[in-house]
Structure 1
Amino acid sequence: MTNDTAVKKWGIYAHIPYCVKKCTYCDFSSAAVRNDTRVEMADYAAALRAEILREVPPLRTRWGDAATVYIGGGTPTALPPAFLTDILENLRKTAGNPIECTVEANPGTVDEAYLTQIKAAGANRLSLGVQSFDDRLLRAIGRIHTAEEARAAFHAARAAGFTNVSLDLMYGLPTQTLGDLKRSVEEALALAPEHISVYGLIVEEGTPMAAAEAAGKLALPSEDAAEEMYDWLTEALPACGYHRYEISNFARPGFESRHNLGYWRNVPYLGVGAAAHGYVDGVRWRNEADTRAYIRGIREGCSVRTPEDAVRTRENAMEEYAFLALRTAEGIDAVDFARTFDAALEDIYGAVIEKYIIEGLLCRTSTHIALTPAGMKVGNEIFAAFLH
C-alpha cells in the first residue's frame, strides 16, 4: 500500500474536457466547443489553476517533485494557447520539473506556433491522435483532421522542438481492411515517431456509432478480420524497432510512456480537472464530471472528489495490483508484490497462475509473472481470473 516512506515517484493527470467536435466512437468525458464556450474555458482554466495550487504543493512537500505530468482530454489543444500554457506553467511551478510532461493533441488543432508555446511552457512529450492516415476512414469516425494535417502536425512538432512524439492509431474501424491499416502504419513509420499506440475500436453504449450499429448502418470488420489486423500489428511494429511494453503501446527503447507505466505499476497520481481520476494513499477517486459544477465547487473551496470504492480492502488492493501489472509486457513483479502486501504472489494466486501457464497464456520468470503474446489477446479473461 502507498505510504510516505515507500513513495519514490508520483504523477499528475490534468483533464481538459473540450473538443472541437465529438468523435462518433468517443464516450470520454468531453464536449464539443460551443459559441459560448470561450468564457467557460477561461473559468475552467482558472478553476484548474486553483485546484493545482491547492492540491499539488502538499504532495510535493511529502514526496518531492512529480515525476510525470499528463494533460489529456477531450482535446487539450482545443484550448486557446494562453490557457494551456498557463496550466503548464502552474504545474511546473508547483510540481517541480517533471521528467516527462505529455500533452495530448488533435492534429487539426495545432500548428508550429501553438506547439512552440506549449513546449516553452514545459511540455516535452506530445501525443497526437492521428487514428488513421486514410481520409475516408477519418471522416467515417468523425475526426476533424485529414491525413495531410496529421503529417503537418507531426512536422510542426519537430520544428517546435519535440523530440518525443507519440502517434495514436486505431484498427477495426468501419469498412477498414488489413490493407488500409498497413498503409496507415507505413505512413506512421515514415514519420519515425518515438512511440505508437494502437487501439482496437470498441463501440461504446450511448455513442453515435452505437446508434448506427443498432440501426444496421455500421459496417464493422468481422472478428476474424479484426484479429488479423491485431496479429499483423503486434508482429510488424516490433520488427520495425518498436517494442511492445504494454498491451496497446509500442516504443523505441527509452521512450515508453513513464506516466502510463505509472498507472500499471500502482504509482500514486493526483487527478485535477473535471472528471479526472486520482489515486493517492491507496484511495481512488473521480472528480465532479460536470464542468460547470466542477468550476463552482472549486470557486467555493469545496472538495470535488467522489471516492470510487466505498470500502477498499486489502484483497481489493491485491487484485488491482495484479491485473494492472499484467497489462505490461514485464508483468507482475513478485518481489514488489510481496513487499507491498507482506504475502507471496504464489500463495495468493498460485492456482490461477498455474492454470494459465499450462494453457500458454502466462509465463513465469525468476522475478515476474507476465502474459504471453497469446495471453495478451485474451487479457480481459485473465484479468478477471485474478478477481476473487
Structure 2
Amino acid sequence: MKFLLSLFLLILIIAAALVAMPSPIDSVAVSVSRPLPFAGALTVNDALQSTQLIALPEGKRGGEDVARDQLGCLYTGTLDGSIMRKCAYSGWETLVNTGGRPLGLHFDAQQNLIIADAEKGLLSMSPQGNLRVLADQFKGKHLGVVDDVDIGADGTIYFSDASNRYPLSDIVLDVLDGRPSGRLFALNPADNSLTLLADELAFANGVAVSADQSYVLINETFTYRISKVWLSGPKAGEKEVLLDKLPGMPDGIARAANGTYWVAMYGLRPKIVDQFHDQPWVKNLLAKLPKEIAPVPKPYGLILQIDENGMILQSLHDQAAVAIGEVTSVQPEDNGLYLGTLHMGVIGKLAY
C-alpha cells in the first residue's frame, strides 16, 4: 500500500512539474481534414511486400532518396552524411560526406549530383566528387531544412525548405506548432540567384516539375496534401491544392516517364496529433515530453501513383512494414521503382 501511495505521489509530482515547465512551442489551433477512406484505388493490400531489398553497408542507415546516373549506378545519402554509390557489379562506396544530412538527390544535365541537405543547404557534387554550396541563405538568413529537389528542362533547380522555424531534429515540434513555415524555391544555375515561389507551406517536402514545365508539385506533409505552384500561364505565381485529405503523410514525389507521379507516404496519419490539433494547450504539453517517450506511429509502407489531375491511380501497401516502411522517396526508372527510407539499413527496388 505504501508503495502504491509513493508511486501515486511521484506521478503527481512529475505531472505538476510537466505542467509548470515552459513549453518549447506556443501552438495554434489547426483544423484537420477528414482522410480519404481506404477504398477504390486506396484499398489496402500488401503489394509492397514484394520489394527487393538492397542492403546498405554495415552501420549505414537512412537512404532517404535514390538517384541513378547515366551508367545505371545508384546513389543515396545516409544519416551520417555520406553520399554513397553502388554500381551493377560492385559494392557500395562512400564518395563524400556533406557534414550534414543529405535528403533529396537529383542529377543535372552535366551529371552533377544536386543534393538537398537538411543542415548544409543545397549542394552540388561534381562527377569527380567535389562538393560546393549552391545555396544556404536567403535574404541573409540561413535556410532551414532543405529537403527535396527537382530540375527543370532549362536547368532551373527547384527545391523545398521544409521548415524555417525548427531544425530536422525537432521536426515533431513543427507539426505540433501548427504554423506552416515551409518554402519552395527556384535557383537559376547561371548566377545562383534564388526566387521564392511559395511560402507558408506545412512542411514543404517532395518536389516534382510537370512534364510541360508549367507548374511544380510540392508535398505538404503535415496537412496531408499535394499542392501545385504555377510557373507560367494565367495562374503563374499562384498555389492551389492538387490532392487533399490523404490518409497519410506525403514525403517524396517524382514524375514518371508517362507523366504520372509516384508519391512516397512516410506513414499513416499520427492519430494523437489529429485528435488534439485544435487544442493548443494539449499540444503545448505534448511538446514538453522527452523525445524518448513521445508516441511514435507504427511503421507502415505505402506509395501512391497519381495522374496530373490528382486522381489516385493505385496504391501499394505493406501494412506491417514487413519488407519496407517509412518510405520517403519513390524514384521511377526504366528498370523499376527505387524506394528510399528515413531510418532503415536498406533501399528498395520494386518491379513495375
TM-score norm. by structure 1 comes to: 0.24
Counting strand residues as a fraction of each chain, which structure ranks higher?
A: 2
The TM-score normalised by the length of structure 2 is 0.26
The structure where helix makes up a greater share of residues is 1
